[in-house]
Amino acid sequence: MERVAVIGVGQTKYETDKRETFHELVWEVANKALNDAGITVREIDNVVTISSDFWDGRTISTMAVSDTSGGYDKDITTVEGDGTFGVLYGMMRILSGSFGTTMVVAHHKGSESNMAGITNTSFDPLVERKLGLDAITSSALQARRYMTVSGGTEEQFALVSVKNHGNAMRNPFAQLPMDITVEDVMASEMLASPLKKLDCSPVSDGAAAVVLAAERSAKKMTTNKKRVWLNGVGHCTDAYRLGDRDLADTRALKKAAKKAYDMAGVTLDDIDVAEVYDAFSYMEPLWLEGLGFCEDGQGPEQIERGNFTLDSELPVNPSGGRLSANPVQVAGLAGVIECVLQCRGEAGRRQVRGAEVALAHGINGMCGQSHCVWILGK
């Protein structure tokens, strides 16, 4: 199979209450990605936008950005969900042989929408929606289940928040760089037990873009230093209703990860750095179990041992993660971009030394119903 490379990346600073419109945000990052790749929009032959009619408050939300994404008079399409799935479709379009260079761009303005109300519409209107569940309350159910199964504690989860907000201090794009302690997290406002405010990601605005190119053209278009290969990917969806799943079971992620590792031909030892979906603090150790970096139930303890800090064997979320900026559709794409920067050695003060193989992870749906796992490499 031919390979596909990321040849350009661009992202806004993630903030709340941005006053630029969706198309201005996309204009900014699409241009940054093109400039980073050293190409013009004329060399883009197709576009994948990632947007959500719910968060954008607009039917056919891609209409807001199909001009500034470079989609005019081109073959353009839209994935609704996390940015990692947009990259997946962008890559498959190239591998199909129909396209050579794909722009993948995502935008999100959480500050213009109502997170609780919108995530409530993820629940079945015929059953659970009327109970008022949303992302935070359903995740709280998952957090407690995970504590029950693993014996993990709120303090162990708090360490994830401390670590990732600390990492964000080294990332100029992050929204919430913070020097905090476990006590700060524990003392923050209780939203839905066991989740406190600092266990939860913020409301964020921002956009991100990557330019993908087929091996045949990538080598002509860019320098060796800029190219980072998409070596493996896997995605998998679990059951819908929370009661259909054991919320501490990560079987869908395990299946997605295995596919990504097999396709890339890597083992866990090969992976130098990982961007794991941490919209809530407990998710990082839970997904690290699904990804295979911890035995089932061992995630919280390994967090406590400091196994995933910046100076550890496997730094996790050097960007600061979703806890430090969570523009929903953009979130996983920002993780992909962080992996690209790490593999290029362009991650500045958060650079993981010698990073050659990186893992990015995104989720769709409530409590990680669907996962997309990427392996990128130099």
Partner 1 sequence: MADWKSEVEEVVFPGKICVPYSWTVGSTLSRWYVQLRDDGEIWANRCPSCGTVYVPPKIKCIKCYKDMNDWVKLPGTGTIETFTVVNKERPGLDPKKPPFVYAVIKMDGADTGMVHLIGGVEPEKVKVGMRVAPVLEKERDGHITDIKHFKPIA
Partner 2 sequence: MGKRVGIVGVGQTHHASHRLDASGVEVIAEAVTRCLDDAQTTLDAVDAIIIGNMDHFENINYVDMWAVDGLGGCMKPVFKVTTGGTTGTTVGAAAYYSAASGMFDTVMAVGWEKNSESDTQAAIATCANPVLERDPFAGAIGPLATEYSMYMKAYGATEEDAAIVAARDRNNALNNPYAHNRMHVTVEDVMNSPMLSYPVKFLDMCPRSDGACAVIFAVEEKAKKMCDRPAWIHASVVRHDYTHFGDLEWQWMPTLERATLQAYKYAGITNPVKEFDVAELYQPCSTTGVKWLDSMWFCERGQGPKLIRSGATHMDGIIPINPSGGVVATNPIGATALIRVAEAAWQIMGRAGDRQIPNVKKALATGFGGCSWSDVFVLGADLP
Q: Which positions touch partner 1 (CB under 8 A)?
A: 19-20, 24, 28, 57, 116-117, 120, 125-128, 130-134, 136-137, 140-145, 148, 189-195, 239, 241-244, 247
**Per rule CB under 8 A, is residue 52 in the interface with partner 2?**
yes
Q: Which is nearer to partner 2, 115 or 159 (CB)?
A: 115
User: Of 24-32, 120-128, 155-163, 275-283, which segment contacts partner 2 by CB under 8 A?
Assistant: 120-128
Q: If we measure between CA atoms, which residue out of 310, 313, 315, 287 comes closest to residue 300?
A: 287
- Residue 255 contact among partner 1, partner 2, none, beta carbon within 5 to 8 Å by kind: partner 2
- What is residue 248's three-state secondary structure? coil
Contact in structure between 50 and 78 (CB atoms under 8 Å): yes
Look-up of token digits 């603090």:
281
> How many Å apart are CA 34 and CA 327, to the nearest integer?
22
> How many Å apart are CA 278 and CA 80, to the nearest integer?
20
User: Of 85-93, 149-157, 193-201, 294-302, which segment contacts partner 2 by CB under 8 A?
Assistant: 85-93
Measured between alpha carbons, how far is residue 220 from residues 32, 213, 226, 320 in Å? 20, 10, 12, 34
Q: Which is nearer to partner 1, 141 or 180 (CB)?
A: 141
Q: Which is nearer to partner 1, 226 or 371 (CB)?
A: 371
Contact in structure between 30 and 70 (CB atoms under 8 Å): yes
- What is residue 269's three-state secondary structure? helix
Contact in structure between 109 and 55 (CB atoms under 8 Å): yes
**Per rule CB under 8 A, is residue 95 in the interface with partner 2?**
yes
Q: If we measure between CA atoms, which residue out of 166, 147, 167 comes closest to residue 157?
A: 147
**Per rule CB under 8 A, is residue 237 in the interface with partner 2?**
yes
- Distance between first and last Cα of the chain: 17
Give the one residue of 35, 40, 53, 183 binding partner 2; rule: CB under 8 A. Answer: 53
Contact in structure between 214 and 2 (CB atoms under 8 Å): yes
Give the one residue of 13, 38, 45, 63 binding partner 2; rule: CB under 8 A. Answer: 63
Give the one residue of 11, 12, 78, 319 binding partner 2; rule: CB under 8 A. Answer: 78
> How many Å apart are CA 33 and CA 44, to the nearest integer?
11
CB of 201 to partner 2, least distance (A): 17
Q: Which is nearer to partner 2, 244 or 269 (CB)?
A: 244
The angle subtended at Cα 68 by Cα 65 and Cα 70, nearest 5°, is 110
Contact in structure between 56 and 78 (CB atoms under 8 Å): no
- Residue 191 contact among partner 1, partner 2, none, beta carbon within 5 to 8 Å by kind: partner 1
CB of 341 to partner 2, least distance (A): 25
Give the one residue of 17, 124, 295, 313 binding partner 2; rule: CB under 8 A. Answer: 124
User: Of 26-34, 173-181, 229-237, 315-323, which segment contacts partner 2 by CB under 8 A?
Assistant: 229-237
Q: Which is nearer to partner 2, 54 or 186 (CB)?
A: 54
**Per rule CB under 8 A, is residue 19 in the interface with partner 2?**
no
CB of 147 to partner 1, least distance (A): 9
| Type of residue numbered 113 | S
> How many Å apart are CA 147 and CA 196, to the nearest integer?
15
Q: Which residues bind partner 2 (CB under 8 A)?
A: 1, 21, 52-54, 57-60, 62-64, 66-67, 71-81, 85, 88-89, 91-98, 118-119, 121-122, 124-126, 233-240, 251-252, 255-256, 364-366, 369-370, 372
